[in-house]
Each structure stands twice: as structure tokens, then as C-alpha cells.
Amino acid sequence: MSSDDYLFVYGTLRGGVLRSDAGERAFSQLEADASFMGLATMDGRLFEVDGYPAGCYQFAVGSDVIGDLYQVDAAAALFVTLDAYEESDPHFEQPREYQRQRVPVSLSDGSVVYAWVYLYHRSIDALLMIESGDYLLWQKQNETITGDIKLD
């Protein structure tokens, strides 16, 4: 990986969202190994799975997934942690729920970078679409998360 590695996060790894203790650990690793660049968007759609979001990249569908863009400083350590958190590493059986892929992401100034993103890799047929494309906004509007999840 190079110094031009970026990571786009749209769900439980965004700043300000409610997340589990495992999510807190993954977010702490993200903050340690990457630098926040700002808000960004990805062509696609966002769905609610079961208290967490599923982002699907779809070019030119007319809708965006809103998230945070990071420049990755320590890729090896970060992606080991995040691959495990997203259950996309080889220790998990196929088909894995998420796959890490590079997609074009647009920044607020109109520039585009290719960023790693964890994309949902299962059927979306029975899932609720988050129309706004913004999981942080959706979570605040719905307040459906309970259990050991806390606000950062």
C-alpha cells in the first residue's frame, strides 16, 4: 500500500455514531492509524441490516452514500484490525458479509480519490433502504440501537 491509501467509512466507524465496544476498539485503531480528511460521498445506496448499515457501490444510480474519508498512515496494522471487525478476513467463512474494495469517492471540493471501503456482499432484497444515504443522520432519527452501544 502507498501513501495515497484512503479509507471511506459510512457506518459504525464514522465519528459521532453509536457503536458497540468492538466498534469502539476499531474506531480507536482508525484514529491512531489514519488522518481524517473530511466528508465524502460514494455512488451507491445504503441499507439497514440489523442495527448496522450495508453500503453498496452502484455507479451512476443517482444516489450517494455519505461518509468520512481518511488518509491511511499505517495500512498494515489498520487493515488487519478493520478486516477482522468487518468480518472480511480469511478467518471468516464464505460468503463474507463485507468485502474491502477500492471505489471512487468524491470530496466536497469535487475532487475524486480511490478509497478502500467495506461493501456489503449479500442480498439486499429484504433490507430497508436508508434514503438519505447518511447512516449518522438515520441513526439519530431512529434511535433503534440498544445494548452495550454508547455514543462517543
Structural domain of 120: 6-151
- Whichever domain contains 58, its CATH number is 3.10.490.10
Do residues 104 and 43 lie in contact, with contact meaning Cβ atoms separated by under 8 Å? yes
CA separation for the pair 32, 75 (Å, rounded):
11
- The total domain count for the chain is 1
In a domain, 100, yes or no: yes
Flag the least confident range among 23-32, 51-60, 95-104.
51-60
Rounded average pLDDT over 71-77 = 91
CA separation for the pair 129, 53 (Å, rounded):
9
Cell 489498520 belongs to which residue?
A: 78
In a domain, 141, yes or no: yes
pLDDT at 60: 64
In a domain, 12, yes or no: yes
Number of Cα atoms under 13 Å in the Cβ half of residue 18: 16
Joined grid coordinates for residue 42: 460514494
In a domain, 1, yes or no: no
In a domain, 13, yes or no: yes
pLDDT winner (highest mean) among 76-90, 99-113, 137-151: 99-113
- The string of pLDDT tens digits covering residues 99-123 is 999 999 999 999 999 999 999 999 9
Average pLDDT across the chain, whole number? 88
With 50 as the cut, is the pLDDT of residue 152 above it? no
